Amino acid sequence: MKNKLDGVEEILLMGPGPSCIHDSVYEALGLKTLGHMDPYFIDIMDEIKKLLQTVMKTHNRMTIPISGTGSAGMETCFVNLIERDDPVLILINGVFGQRMQDVATRLGADVDSLEFEWGTPVIPEKVEDMLEKKNYKIVAVVHAETSTGVRNPVEEIGDLLRGKETLYLVDTVTSLGGIEVAMDAWGIDVLYSGTQKCLSCPPGLAPVSVSDRALDVILGRKTKVPNWYLDVSMLTKYWGGETRVYHHTAPINMNYALYQSLFLSVEEGLENVFRRHLECHNMLVRGLDDLGINMLVSPDFRLPMLNSIHIPEGVDDAEVRSKLRSNHKIEIGAGLGPLAGKIWRIGLMGHTARKENVTRVLTALKEVLNK
């Protein structure tokens, strides 16, 4: 019987995620498994919390990795905060804003949505207009919209909410570890991310941070959190406090990998990490310009780690991506929703953000297009 794992190839991951993984992170995954209540594993848990606080720039004591991918992080935030008929404002300019809307609606919230053209940022003045009309329990936005490559003005939106009781919920799945995320300074109450983007860890964990103010709201709910597995009031007893209370069997080796990936980022220095992403982005933009390929997003709101580019006229989207994968062992992403067939998404996330990788994808793209 042939083992299918023998056929797994090394692919240069330059799509919207997952990203390439550092060898030391793979080595961490292969370490001996400890029990989820083992005292040494608890020491590792404590260090993961500290490293996440550093990368998120927060002092929140409830800063932990949820056992699940980034979407589990999103579910955690909404399911703990929302009770039926709670007024929620979702700011949408891509797929992942729409996903927020879907989850909040499923939970019975009174959801208002403010939508913007895909490829353009959220406009704070329009958010301000909505805030003058209604008091919201939650305002939610995606920092780095992976479906378009847009960086939303999270800090400016946070300024609009200062002094209000409204909780500020932000998706940082693609931004965390690639550009600055300053949770406390920007007034963010609840934040979630994923491990497989700029943190360059395999998919499987979702870093989440909850402010004390938001935690008070969760602990003061009139009804139970409807999802047992993601109930923050229970998870706090496993991830914090002097006496750890068993909640679920954590993915031990994935936590090893997250620890190592965070360690690498902090060791390199966050500003150096951000600079590396930006330099690779600028190099890619120049190279694409030489090929006559334009960017979707205006320079002021482009993400360095997720580059959406217009597909040249007359070029077959799927054929080019297929040839990059089969002939050059490179993965790039397709467009989603209204941008399907119109753009490619090239990821420069985490360990993928290396100049040699930019050169490789530009060379391969030029060859495929010329043929």
Contact present, 91 and 160 (Cβ < 8 Å): no
Q: Where are the beta strands (DSSP E) in 35-184?
A: 62-67, 87-92, 110-115, 138-142, 144-145, 150-151, 167-171
Residue where a domain stops, chosen among 234, 266, 298: 266
Q: Which pLDDT does position 248 carry in this prediction? A: 94
223 and 188, same structural domain?
yes
Q: What CA dihedral angle connects 83, 88, 93 and 94, to 10 degrees?
A: 10
Residue numbers of the chain with a pLDDT score lower than 50: none
- Please count the structural domains in the chain: 2
Give the domain range for residue 314: 4-18+269-370
Query: Angle, to 10 degrees, between the axis of helix 355-370 and the axis of helix 270-290?
Result: 20
Q: What is the CATH number of the domain that holds 342?
A: 3.90.1150.10
Q: Which pLDDT does position 291 carry in this prediction? A: 97
Q: Which pLDDT does position 330 carry in this prediction? A: 98
Tokens representing residue 32 in the block: 């001996």
Tokens representing residue 204 in the block: 């499987």
Q: Which pLDDT does position 243 carry in this prediction? A: 83
The DSSP call for residue 175 is T
Positive or negative torsion for Cα 244, 246, 248, 253: positive
The Cα-based distances of 246 to 136, 234, 243, 293 in angstroms read 35, 9, 10, 53
249 and 139, same structural domain?
yes
The DSSP call for residue 120 is S
Q: Which pLDDT does position 242 carry in this prediction? A: 73
275 and 184, same structural domain?
no
298 and 211, same structural domain?
no
135 and 10, same structural domain?
no
Alpha helices in 206-299 (DSSP H): 212-219, 232-239, 252-268, 270-290
Tokens representing residue 255 in the block: 């936590």
Residue where a domain stops, chosen among 266, 281, 315: 266
Q: Which pLDDT does position 328 carry in this prediction? A: 98
Alpha helices in 5-121 (DSSP H): 23-29, 39-56, 70-81, 95-106
The pTM (predicted TM-score) of the whole model is 0.97
255 and 306, same structural domain?
no
Long-range contacts of 110-113 (CB under 8 A, 24+ apart): 110/85, 110/86, 112/87, 112/88, 112/136, 113/89
- pLDDT, tens digit, 9 for 90 and up, residues 285-311: 999 999 999 999 999 999 999 999 999
Unique residue bearing structure tokens 């939970």: 107
321 and 247, same structural domain?
no
Indicate the helix (H) or strand (E) that contains 192.
Answer: strand 190-192
